[in-house]
Chains A and B, each alone.
Chain A
Amino acid sequence: MTSREILALLVVAVPALAAALAAAAPRRHVHVVAIVGAFASSAAAAALSIVALSAPGAPLVEHWVVVDAAAGLLVGVIGIVGLTAVLVSPAYLASSTTGLVRPERRPRMFYALVFCFWAILAAIPLVGNLGGAWLLVEATTAASALLVGFGGKPRALEAAWKYLILTSLGLGVALLGIVVLAAGSAHGGLDALSWRELAHIHSKHALIAYLLLLAGLASKVGWAPVHNWLPDAHSEAPAPVSALLSAALLPAVLLVAWRSSQALTPVIGASAAQSVLVGFGLLSLAVAVPFLWQPMAWKRLLAYSSLEHMGVIALGIGFGTPLALAGVAVHVVGHALAKALGFYAATPLIGHEPRAAGHAVRGIGRTQGPLGWVLGISLGSLAGLPPSPLFASEVLIVAGGFAAGRPWTAAASAALLALGFLGLAHTLIDTVAGKAPARDRTAPGLRGVVLLTSVAVPCLLGLTAAALWLPGSAIARALVQGIR
């Protein structure tokens, strides 16, 4: 085994081991075990990410494992979001009063499921095979559905049920696409579905297979029009889980769609492969923007923002130029940081103002200043307010659209992004600085979230600076080239 293969194995094995340890740990040690496990898992992820991104021109591509720039990027994001999700989980568990399982078993079950989910998520970018990727994406459904419904309240059960049924049916359609692809391969079996071999499939049905595959994956990415589960699951899941779903799961599944598109481009043509992604991207943006103008509960607003951002990433991948793909790289990381912060802030926010669980709230900055800052930084970044990295990435993606010869699509995207920005900016002002009723200053778990924000802000600014350098870099070239 090469050192990269060993690292890839560790990235999956360490959180899997942490899941087993968390499940078996004595009750009073479970938080410590989880935090140690999270640091170890994210260290493995960081090591792989550094190795993959420091030599993007020389990826490891085998039938079963891929360690390339895109995998490095995603594994790094999953490591960061996983670590921070575990760090804020004690505050969530302390504040939760209901659950799927008995209170004494709740922390163990929660951490075991989070680490299982983490291990499966980390394997998705590293798997070298479409069939394997499908199996992993389907496996995330089981672990994450239990986490979505973990609160055990009727609304959480509803969200989890909708998520389970809709994504399972969608993935069934994706599997039909994979079967159709396998039918066109010369030697059948799983090997025929490796990312490299897909480019050599001789099938007149490849376009149908691609359409079925992407339509199915769209249900899991949460692209419109098959996004119905997304606002419910993200708003009803525990806050650390919402962060994992939005910042890690959606881009990980999106990477499968991206790899499929790149692998099948020689068979179905670049125009067809990219147009489907552009279509999903534009539709998702168009569906999300009106909701960004509505006053709604904080986590639900963040969920609709996920729909918008997955649309933006789809557009970037669809445009496929170095500018657009550099924008995608920045967008994936920037969105993960800002969105995770937003979800983590939900626990102190609901503790401070319980109405925030189901309604739009105003003037948080007036009654709880530090919490107002955290909400403002998160929402400002997500809106694309300069110097947010998402402003830079959206400019890169739109410019990439013009460079790709799709001026009308790029112009429409820019218009929708501007409308989305205005909607979120309006909410930002209202939520942070609007007229506030009298509230006491209580905000459980705020100190940890403020600490995370103080680390995240320089990272976000650094990412904005990186966006200036990235388009001409070897990483952008590697992203354009994909797995060949």
Chain B
Amino acid sequence: MSGALVWLLVALGLGVVVVRRRSLAVTLVTAQALVLAVSAAQNNAAPAAVLAVRAVALGALLLLVVSRTREPRPVRAGIAPIARAGLAVGFALALTWLVPSIGLDSRNAERGVLALIAFGITAAATRRATLFQVMGIVLCENGLALAALELPGGSSTAIELGVAFDLTLVAVVAAVFHEKIFAEFGAGDTAALRSLRD
């Protein structure tokens, strides 16, 4: 995969950390997965097809959930977008510094993988909206899909299929809980989920 494509994936990932609207974030993670699928198609059609189907299915599911749970007002993140971006980039740089080469075909891809995982964790940790936390997981999985595509021997269709199935399953369960949380608290806001403490 070319360096430009890797950095496009990273930019789309950073967008998820920063943007305010859920539908825009869904579009960004879906676009990211489709870029991965197109890139995979150059070497092996089967993993590319799996990635494309997963991207479309997840995108459709998340957009459906967004439309079914219209927030009366946006769920504030608690941390300003610039600060979130700074945290995400700082975490990505720290990971790149901490984790030496991981054996992928190109160093750019390795940096991209670590950045996407850092962005995913940052999104899940700093966003209060439940759907943004799910998109944090999807971001991480997109980073891992990039890693699988950049393996020296190429990606395995079986692994891609299994990961896609599991991720979709987790996203469906998360969607069920998001709707229940929305129905119970009137918003998909994890700030309401803070009663369990010791």
CB within 8 Å of B: which residues of A? 100, 131-132, 135, 138-139, 141-142, 145-146, 149, 152, 154-155, 157-162, 164-165, 168-169, 172-173, 175-176, 179-180, 182-185, 187-190, 203-205, 208-209, 231-232, 235-236, 291, 294, 296, 300
Contacts and interface: CB of A to CB of B under 8 A. Distances in A.
Given A149-B180, A179-B147, A183-B103, A164 B173 contact: yes
Contacts of A184: 103
Contact of A161 (B136, B144, B147, B181): B181
Given A142-B169, A142-B173, A154-B185, A172 B103 contact: no
For the residues of A in contact with B, the DSSP-based class is: helix
Nearest to A229: B196
Contacts of A231: 196, 198
B144 A175 contact: yes
A139 B163 contact: no
Given A176-B143, A183-B102, A232-B196, 10 more contacts: A158-B195, A159-B196, A161-B177, A161-B193, A164-B173, A165-B134, A165-B174, A169-B136, A179-B147, A205-B103
B102 A161 contact: no
A189 B180 contact: no
Nearest to A172: B140
Contacts of A172: 117, 120, 137, 140-141, 144
A190 B52 CA distance: 21
B173 A169 contact: no
A157 B196 contact: no
Given A172-B137, A187-B153, A188-B156, A100 B180 contact: yes
B163 A176 contact: no
Interface string B135-169: 01100110110011001111010110011011001
A172 B116 CA distance: 11
Contact of A190 (B102, B133, B137, B159): B159
Contacts, number: 140
Interface string B185-198: 10000101111101
A361 to B, nearest CB: 17
Contacts of B169: 139, 142
Contact of B124 (A169, A173, A205): A169
Contacts of B121: 169
Contacts of A138: 163, 166, 170
B102 A180 contact: yes
A191 to B, nearest CB: 9
A327 B180 CA distance: 43
Contacts of A158: 193-196
Contacts of B154: 188
B195 to A, nearest CB: 6
A168 B151 contact: no
B72 interface: no
B193 A162 contact: yes
Contacts of A152: 180
Contacts of A132: 162
A59 B77 CA distance: 53
A145 B173 contact: yes
B172 interface: yes
Nearest to B157: A189
A175 B99 CA distance: 15
B104 interface: yes
A241 to B, nearest CB: 15
Nearest to B166: A138
B36 interface: no
A205 B100 CA distance: 8
Interface in B56-89: none
B156 A155 contact: no
Contacts of A139: 166, 169
Contacts of A161: 130, 177, 181, 190, 193
A389 B173 CA distance: 38
Contacts of B152: 183, 188
Nearest to B103: A183
A169 B144 contact: no
A141 B193 contact: no
A164 B190 CA distance: 13
A168 B170 contact: yes
A189 B136 contact: no
B103 A154 contact: no
